[in-house]
Amino acid sequence: MAATPPRPTDTDLIIMGGGPAGCAAALTAASVGMRSVLIEPDTLCRNLHRIPALNNVLGGYTNGPDLADSIAADLKRRDLCRIEIGRRATEIRTFDDHVVVTLDTRTRLTAPYAVLATGVGPLQPQDVPWITAPPDLILAPLWQAEPDDAEDRTLLILGGDRPIGTFLRAHEDTNTQLIVAYPTDDDYKVEEIVDDPRVTLLPVAHLTLRLSEGPVVTAETVGREGQRDIVSADAVFLSIGSAPTAPPGDLVRDVAGYCPPSDQHPRVIVAGDLRSAQFQRIMTAMGSGSEAALHAYYAMRRQ
């Protein structure tokens, strides 16, 4: 009996996410002659643009934007990689011999394998029990604050996650005042900012956010001993941590929403920060992205 011919597909590898993991997957795929389509809703390596100082990446890079520009330039030289900027993967479906990825344009792409490298995104107020906020409210994380947001202003920060220290070091010369409202779970995290004179720590049991038309943000707080207070600020930013951002579809997620690579369908290879809360670094993301592309390459050669 004649063998079944391989199913025609749009490309050899669909890569979801254009961070360090997805870009490394695309570069490695091109280096072994595989075609790929890389889908990224924002810009390539958008998160690296927010890292003002780097000291743990090989190659002499001392800040995120230089590394991001260099990665983007590398990728744009690879004809085998088609980069779809401004597009988001909205669904992933797996089959015995191929994967289908739907984009926000409703376009459907098929390939023998897909790399999923959509990383993590900021948790929103609705995701944590200690904040009450309007249901549709989306706030920016503190690490996305621009210099103008910081100068001579008072910012209310929801949560005491570590990026606050990074923000203060990046804006050493501004006299921004940060009111940091944080739950018990973040007590140990605020230790690194406790001595900064620009920081007012506000340990809370609960916080209700009131956003008005005007420039001022108001919050009603309930302290750990039950005392009630009202704070106001010029703007509000998040520092309550991150959560995995995998699209819906045929994926296996753990209780926290991460996608452990070993639990997935054999045609979906997870890379970068989306794998687990551990190992979230630029170089581990690149290594896992590169390995994901080679995984697909060797699997295709075995078929």
Q: What residue ranges bind ligand FAD (CB under 6 A)? A: 16-22, 39-42, 46-47, 50-51, 54, 56, 88-89, 117-119, 143, 163, 166, 245, 247, 272-273, 280-282, 285
DSSP state of 249: B
Distance CA 292, CA 15 (A): 10
- How many other CB atoms sit within 10 Å of the CB of residue 61? 19
- Cβ contact 271:285 at 8 Å: yes
- As measured in angstroms, the least distance from the Cβ of 176 to ligand FAD is 17
- As measured in angstroms, the least distance from the Cβ of 4 to ligand FAD is 31
Distance CA 138, CA 201 (A): 23
- As measured in angstroms, the least distance from the Cβ of 181 to ligand FAD is 20
- What CA–CA distances, in Å, run from 215 to 154, 155, 180, 235, 239? 11, 12, 19, 7, 21
Q: Which is nearer to ligand FAD, 112 or 163 (CB)?
A: 163
Q: Which is nearer to ligand FAD, 117 or 131 (CB)?
A: 117
Q: Which is nearer to ligand FAD, 130 or 143 (CB)?
A: 143
- As measured in angstroms, the least distance from the Cβ of 235 to ligand FAD is 18
Strand partners, 269: 115
For the chain, the straight-line distance linking the first and the last C-alpha, in angstroms and rounded, comes to 17
- As measured in angstroms, the least distance from the Cβ of 74 to ligand FAD is 15
For residue 59 the two structure tokens come to 């190659």
Q: Which is nearer to ligand FAD, 7 or 169 (CB)?
A: 169
H or E segment and range at residue 203: strand 199-211
Distance CA 251, CA 92 (A): 8
- As measured in angstroms, the least distance from the Cβ of 226 to ligand FAD is 34
Q: Which is nearer to ligand FAD, 39 or 236 (CB)?
A: 39
- How many other CB atoms sit within 10 Å of the CB of residue 62? 11
Q: Which is nearer to ligand FAD, 71 or 202 (CB)?
A: 71
